[in-house]
Each structure stands twice: as C-alpha cells, then as structure tokens.
Structure 1
C-alpha cells in the first residue's frame, strides 16, 4: 500500500494521554514558559473517559504542581478519616492494628477521589494556561526522524474498513510533530511498548509485572455509608497462594468504590479474576454494606506492580515515558497517581531546559536521573521487595516479610534483602491446565454479583463495529492449536469484559474476538501465555466512558 500523505502540525511538546502524568507535564511546561506550544492528545471521548483508578490520592504531586489547588476548586473533597486493613476468611476477618503497618502505609492526609474528575479539572487548568487538548484522538503510530529518533505521532485516523483499507469516509489523520514527545498512555501503552522494544529501554531492568484491577461504583444505604472510610483486605476469596486483594472506599453522596486486584502472575489457567471479584462481594462484611444499594458503574484496568527494579530507561531519542507507561505504582500503597504527577513535572522541567538550550529530539537523560533520585525513586525504592516476596511466598508471607523490610529500611536506611528479582513474566507464570483443577464459581445473583456482559454495559463502552479489530493475533491458529489444549485457552477467563470466546457449535472449536466489548484494560496483551495477542489503539473516542470513576 502506498505511503499515506498527511498534513503536519508542529509544536514544542506533543503529549500522548490526558491522564495525571500527561496533564501535569503540560501544566508545568506552560508554567515555565507560557510561549511554549504544547498539545495533549487523548484517545477517550473526553478527558477522564478512560481514567480508572481506586483512588486514594496522595496530594504531594498535585501540591507541587498547583500549590493552591484547594482554592482553585480541585475535586479533592473527601479526606481519609478512617483506615482499615483486614485479613479475610470466608465467614469473617481479622483487622490488623494500624500501628503494625509501616508509616508509608498511613493514609492520613490523603483523599478519596475520582481520578477521572481530577483529570477533568486538571484539563481545565491546562487549557486556561493555553495548552491545546484534543480528546477523541487516538495516536496510532510514531513518526521517526532521519536518525531514528521520535519526532512526532500520527493522530486522528478514522474510517478504515474492517480489513484495514481506507473506507469511503477515510480521514488519514495528521502528523503532530514536536521537539519532544511524551508518552503518558498508562500501563502497557502500545506506543510505549514500541519505543521500549525499539530502543531496548528494558535491557538493564527486571521484567514488568502487573495486576488486573476491577472496580464498581455503588450507591449504598445512607445508614451504612461512612464518608472518608478506607478499607483494604487480603485473603478470601483468592486465598494465600495468589497475590491480590480488595479496596472499599467511601466517597461523598453515599457512594462507595468497591474494587479487587488480582496479580497476573497466577499459575492456574482456570482462575477467573472477574469471578473472584464477584465472589468477594458476597463476603458477609461486604454484602452487609452493599445490600439494598445499587451498582452505578463498572470498569477494569491493568495495574503496574513491578516497581523500582522494573522501571525501564525512561528517556529515549526524542521523548520520555511518563507515569504508568514507566511503571511507577507503589504496590503496597496501591498508589501511582502522585508519582505520575511527579514524573510529568520532572519531564516538563527537563524538556524546558533542553528547548531553552536549543536542543531537540535528543535523550532527556536528566529526566531519567531525576525520576530515580527524586520523590518517585524515594517512594518506590523502599517497597521494591514487596512484589518479589509476594511472588515467592504468597501474599501473607509477602505481607509479613515485606512489612518487616519496609520497617527495617525506615529505621536503618537499607534492606537486608538487597533488591530481589521478579523472575518470570506474568505470561510465563501461567502453568499448563493439566497441573490444575477447574474452579467452580457460584453463578452471579444479579443483586450483589453480575455476569461480565451485564457489567460491561455499566462501563458505557462503545466501538465502531466497522473499523479494523484493534486486538490482533500474531498467529490466528495459536488460540485453538496451542492455548486450548495446553492451557484451556485462559483468554476466556482472564478478560474482564468477555472479549474472547471459544465457540464449539461446529465440528471444530473456533476462537472469537468480540472487540466491541473491550474496556482497554490490556490484560490480554500481558497474560496471554503464548504472547500472541497484541493490543493496539482503536479509532479515537472509542472504548469505555467512565463516569465519576
């Protein structure tokens, strides 16, 4: 096919993703120099549409960026007033006293927020400074210069036929060219994957690790609501052989976030993360809270959990990785938004200095150094052994030794363990089905628990069915020829949106991809044991439309 001719627009900095990292970078750039031309490109239909996070926000990054955020009306309305941690059994639980938890686990001074709403507010602040923000603009390709450096992105391509050829209403999109390109796509971003592979940014780091986070927004009986309460649990229903746990956050207006994270390094291919979440809500403690309430919204997203040792080189020729594209979540704190904001600030300051010095399209090495030596590095280094200990010993052993390690580092400033390795990728951790037994999950009751397709409707997901499927198979035969006999094709279960099916209504089973259901969580790209599924960006504006999430 002939090379597509596209118009170009030039900026000083092009930012992919209107999340907390990308918006922080944009705001800081305009604070430093109002004359800089900055554009933010967001694939969601609006800013916040694709933002899914717990979230209890550590405001340190926001305070650094906009010190008077409270006076400017930032939607941080619910300070944490009560902090609980439980180890659950099937019928009850044991609360761990707060004094046992390392100081960094204390949520005093943090806020229960909708990160979607925080990002919507941040976008208003950015636009007031002159940042151009274009929602509904997927960035589908990187643009490279003569020396192999990144010089821009292709955005706004619409109207392809299902086979990938231009349709009758085809729009080729534009080349957005910048002196620097910042990728803030979130966990397992498609362009971020490309630059990590192209420039071997992961050559000197450990493997990336992930969890699958699933979340529902509920309206509950006012008598059961406790604004400002934060509760985390581990144990039932996953048990102590598989990493993961829950969060229950009481925000304003009698609303509660109920969520569950399943670490994707699980071995049993029969494990069904979504049904573990649904089963969790039937625990007596959670059922009591939710009974008489109603589910308002649902979503799912991969969460980075590799931490300090899994951070790749974050600067590449012509750009940088921001936030979860670099894997900056603090696993035991279940927080990454503050680090995303810090990364955006560091990137903006490094890019501004380079542009002022007359440089463009080079490596912003100063950004990578400041990321590791500044607030982000300090936040992540102290918890670096929690995920590897969880992987070796299970969550209970990881909690015990990981907690000891964090306390020890708090007092003595070094770790007895050094820096532990993660070992296998999450895909490699999957064992053959022959080593395990199928798990019998209770049928959802439609009151506390729901089937996947019903819940996906509450993510308000929409994809144009006439575009090329954005979920690609490297080899179309692998799901049935390899994954089905060896692993009982786990894509049927690990996807929290029911995208993948093995249909047996003919002589031979077939693998069906219902890409219209996709909530952009990226789990398939991470967990497929054959690494045969590649998540790519659909056309702009498609995907979930999360409200107040």
Structure 2
C-alpha cells in the first residue's frame, strides 16, 4: 500500500515542553497577526506525557512568557519550593550539609515549582489543541523526508503491523507522510531523527561532542509526618565517587505526600563494571535519603538520558526546511540541572522564526537562519553561555575540584571567566578495560527501599508489541561477544537501567540477548556503547513506557 500524505504549514516531532511550547506560540502569533497556520504535533508515546521523565523543579520564566495567566488556566504548578538543602555525601553513612553560600547561585530554587513534567505537558497539549493545533499521540516519526534539493520535506510515521521477521501481518498499516513548509524536531535527548540530521547535515561540525547523563527516577508516597511540601534536596559524592564517576542525586517533596527522587550519573564514567541503576539503589539507603522512604511505598520508576554538554556541544539548530529545538539540540542548563524552561524558550523562539517566514509566503527562506539570531539575543543564550564551562570543569577536574571551579565561575565571575574549557572526548570513548577496574560490590535489594531492575521496569508500565522488528539494532552482531565482552565485560549488561541486554550461556555457548520488550527508551545504549554498535530506532507507535506522572 502506498503511504497517504497530509500537508501542514508546520509539523512538530515530539509533544514535550519544546514541541508543545512551539505549537502554542505559533498559534498565538498567528491569531495576533491574523494568519492562517496549520500545525500538527506527532508523539510516539501512547498519550502526551507517557514518555516524559524529568526531576523536576521547573523555573517558570518561560511559562510566564507563554501563558502569563497560567494559574487561572489551571497549569499543574502546585508546589512552590520552600527550602533548598545541598549535601556532600562523604560515605554510605555520613554527609555534610553545605551552607547556601557554598552553592552556585544558579542552583538556588527561589520562586521555582516542583512539578510532574508529564502532567505539565498534558496541560500544554490541552492549551495547544484549544488554540487549533492537531496533536496525534501514538504515532512514531520514523523517517525524515527530503525534497530533491536536500531540504527537509517532513516526516513519515512508522509502519504498523510488521512482524519480527519483516513480513506484513494481518494488522498491517503503512505509515503516513506528513509534509510541511517547516518541520521542528523536538524529540528530546538523543532524538532518533535529530541524531540522523546532525550526522547527515554535519550540524555539529566544529563543536565539542555532546555529553550525557542517565537520570533514574522513582516516585514514592511517604508517611505524612515525614513529608515537607516544597523541600528540595540535592547532593553529590557517594556512591558515584567510589567508582570514580560523577553526577548527583535529588529528592523533591511534591504534593499529596509524594517525593520525587533520583540519581543522575554522567555517562563519561570509565569503570565498565559501574551500574547506574545499582548506584541509585545504593544511594537510597543513605541515612539522609532513607529517613524519608522508610514506611513509604514506591509508586513508579523510570529512566532517561539527558544532554549535558551545553553551549560548547550545541549543534547548528537550523537547516533548510527545519529546526532542532529543546533537548534534541541540547539546550539544558547544566549548572541548574534544568532543561524544561530552556526547552520551552527554544520552542517559543522557533515559533517566532517560523511565523515570520510563513508571513513572507513563497519568498520565505527555506533555511531559518533568523532562528540563530533569536536564540543568541535571548536569555536562553545568556544562560547557556554563562554555564558553558560546567562539563569541562566536572569532567576534567573531578567532582571536588570541578565543583569548586563551578562555584568560582558562577558566584564570583557570573559565568564570565575569560576562557572556555572544552571537553572533546565523547562519552563512549572513556571506558577502561574491565581487567584494570575494580568491581563495585552491590548489595542485594531489600525490596523495601532498594529493588531489582525487572520489578522496577514493571512499575514503568512499559509495553511493546512483541511480534515486531527489534528497535535496538546492531551494526555488527558479533561485536558484543568478540569485542565488548573480552575488553569491557559487555557493559550494556550494566548501563542499561531496564535489563534489556544480557550475556546468556547455554549448551550452544554464549550469546548476546536483547530483551527489547523491557526498553524504557532512555537511549543510554545508543550513547554509551563503546563500539557505537547499538542504534536505537523507533518501535511501533504506542510502544515504550507509560509514565502516569513523571
């Protein structure tokens, strides 16, 4: 069957904060200028918010600009931050509470809100639809379409009903082509199509490689007498420091006696025996964390990679026919550890560039270079410029010295040090041979505070149609056993937070097993595989996690 095609002025890939903010702002500007503009948003999750995972403490700067009356409109920003605490975990039993004076200024959370970004995106989608945007969840954008001149024409959604062997099942439905004058890619960190565009169009030429972390998160309901609405706790040090790794942990007291807690492990770690999932489970047993969780109930679990390279790793965000926005480009402010307000702002600036171009009709430029000027003239660029040295400090100098330099940079120089520190080593290239590294000792889960991966994945409501092509593809099926296993003890067994990858040994010998059904779409394998042999592609629409309020 031939694919049907639909025409729009703008197609947006991804119903996250960047994509939905862009959609809303386009329609607002269209109404102001009395322009007729058609906008479509496609989202691979089963519903808007199903694949959204973020801490999250939201800085309301962007939403204040997008919807100044967001309170009256019922935006789910209910818990304002009441207190910041920052700990340096010195060991598994002890921690030092750092005075506010020793915390980089941008990390203070006065005026911010503890939110579920999944619920914020659901609300943004309601606003977008109210403005006339067409939002289609359950449709995975699987392919970039190009005009003959090389400019982006739009996207095609994935075929449905293809068997694991590649044959058409009775339920087969071909994908649909969505054509647009401009296509905005807002897939989030390590977007499948965004990655292709960056490679094909060399958008990252002359830039540092992007750097990443993996964020693991749980939501707990805790006893009312332990709950402090608005309390924000951040920390670094143990347990990641024991393996020479960097990153940090968080615990946020939201509404309804719930806490959002998690650990972010930088993916430039060198010890292949390190397991970010196990490090997270260990951290929960620290007295400063466990005191809140004891007697509580774990409600849900998830994981997602985050782009932390900042300005030095930010690719060119415009190209003929389209734009990269939000975390698909990497607009997160790594000092604040916040990317939602910056993603929203990038989408809003993209909307301005698109509406201006559409108003020019046939004479409009295909390549919206004006977007780069809008970004550079905005507070988004100011934030990214001021925090450009964060990754370099933390990756090159280590947690203690790096943190001290970040404090000097932010608190004394206001992010205006007269130099830029680059980190040119990609995260996948940092692993040392397994034989040269000490194996961490990870205790068995107690099933009260710590848990195993499979029971955790169950709480993510992850599901994929089983009889479909595996969306975790290998360039060379031999590499896991012939290269990664002898050199690195096949680290995919440990960096994956969902138990997707296993080395299985039976009568026939060893084999590399991929349990794609478990995949929570975190993208860590696509990032950290030392041979860059694993390529994550989109599964059928509706597949993946179904986060209720992450």
The residue that corresponds to 1:372 in the other structure is 376
Q: Mean Cα displacement is larger for which, 48-57 or 501-510?
A: 501-510
The residue that corresponds to 1:392 in the other structure is 396
Name the SS of the counterpart of 1:509 in structure 2: strand
2:203 to 193, 201, 210: 201
CA positional deviation for 1:371: 1.7
Name the SS of the counterpart of 2:323 in structure 1: strand
Name the SS of the counterpart of 2:347 in structure 1: helix
1:321-400 matches, within 5 Å, as 321-358=324-361, 359=363, 362-400=366-404
1:293-318 Cα offsets, whole Å, 9 max, x none, are: 00000000001110110000000111
Q: How far apart, CA to CA, are the structure 2 residues paired with 1:531 and 1:420?
A: 26
Q: How far apart, CA to CA, are the structure 2 residues paired with 1:43 and 1:342?
A: 22
The residue that corresponds to 2:142 in the other structure is 140
Q: Mean Cα displacement is larger for which, 134-143 or 97-106?
A: 97-106
CA positional deviation for 1:9: 0.4
Tell me, yes or no, if structure 1 residue 244 matches structure 2 residue 247: yes
CA positional deviation for 1:396: 1.4
CA positional deviation for 1:238: 1.0
1:130-529 matches, within 5 Å, as 130-239=132-241, 241-358=244-361, 359=363, 362-410=366-414, 414-416=416-418, 418-529=419-530
Q: How far apart, CA to CA, are the structure 2 residues paired with 1:168 and 1:102?
A: 58
The residue that corresponds to 1:12 in the other structure is 9
CA positional deviation for 1:156: 5.0
Q: Mean Cα displacement is larger for which, 244-253 or 507-516?
A: 507-516
TM-score, normalised to structure 1's length?
0.97
The residue that corresponds to 1:535 in the other structure is 536
Name the SS of the counterpart of 1:28 in structure 2: helix
Q: How far apart, CA to CA, are the structure 2 residues paired with 1:118 and 1:50?
A: 13
Q: State the Cα RMSD in Å.
A: 1.1
Q: How far apart, CA to CA, are the structure 2 residues paired with 1:329 and 1:405?
A: 18
Name the SS of the counterpart of 1:33 in structure 2: helix
> Conserved in 1, the CA contact under 8 Å of 2:104 and 2:406?
no
Q: How far apart, CA to CA, are the structure 1 residues paired with 2:48 and 2:449?
A: 30
> Conserved in 2, the CA contact under 8 Å of 1:318 and 1:360?
no
1:33 to 30, 46, 61: 30
CA positional deviation for 1:432: 1.3
> Conserved in 1, the CA contact under 8 Å of 2:484 and 2:490?
yes
Q: How far apart, CA to CA, are the structure 2 residues paired with 1:134 and 1:85?
A: 41
Q: How far apart, CA to CA, are the structure 1 residues paired with 2:342 and 2:185?
A: 15
Q: How far apart, CA to CA, are the structure 2 residues paired with 1:541 and 1:507?
A: 36
Figure out how many residues of one structure are paired with residues of the other and give that number: 543
TM-score, normalised to structure 2's length?
0.97
Q: How far apart, CA to CA, are the structure 2 residues paired with 1:163 and 1:199?
A: 32
> Conserved in 2, the CA contact under 8 Å of 1:14 and 1:152?
yes
Q: How far apart, CA to CA, are the structure 1 residues paired with 2:103 and 2:495?
A: 32
Q: How far apart, CA to CA, are the structure 1 residues paired with 2:78 and 2:292?
A: 22
Gaps of 5+ in 1: none
Name the SS of the counterpart of 1:313 in structure 2: coil
Q: How far apart, CA to CA, are the structure 2 residues paired with 1:5 and 1:432?
A: 50
> Conserved in 1, the CA contact under 8 Å of 2:44 and 2:139?
yes
Name the SS of the counterpart of 1:202 in structure 2: coil
> Conserved in 2, the CA contact under 8 Å of 1:180 and 1:361?
no
1:347-392 Cα offsets, whole Å, 9 max, x none, are: 0100111111125671111112222331111111111111111111
1:119-138 matches, within 5 Å, as 119-138=121-140
Q: How far apart, CA to CA, are the structure 1 residues paired with 2:495 and 2:3?
A: 39
1:232-288 Cα offsets, whole Å, 9 max, x none, are: 010111127311110000000000001000000000000011000000001011111
> Conserved in 2, the CA contact under 8 Å of 1:408 and 1:415?
no
Q: How far apart, CA to CA, are the structure 1 residues paired with 2:525 and 2:376?
A: 30
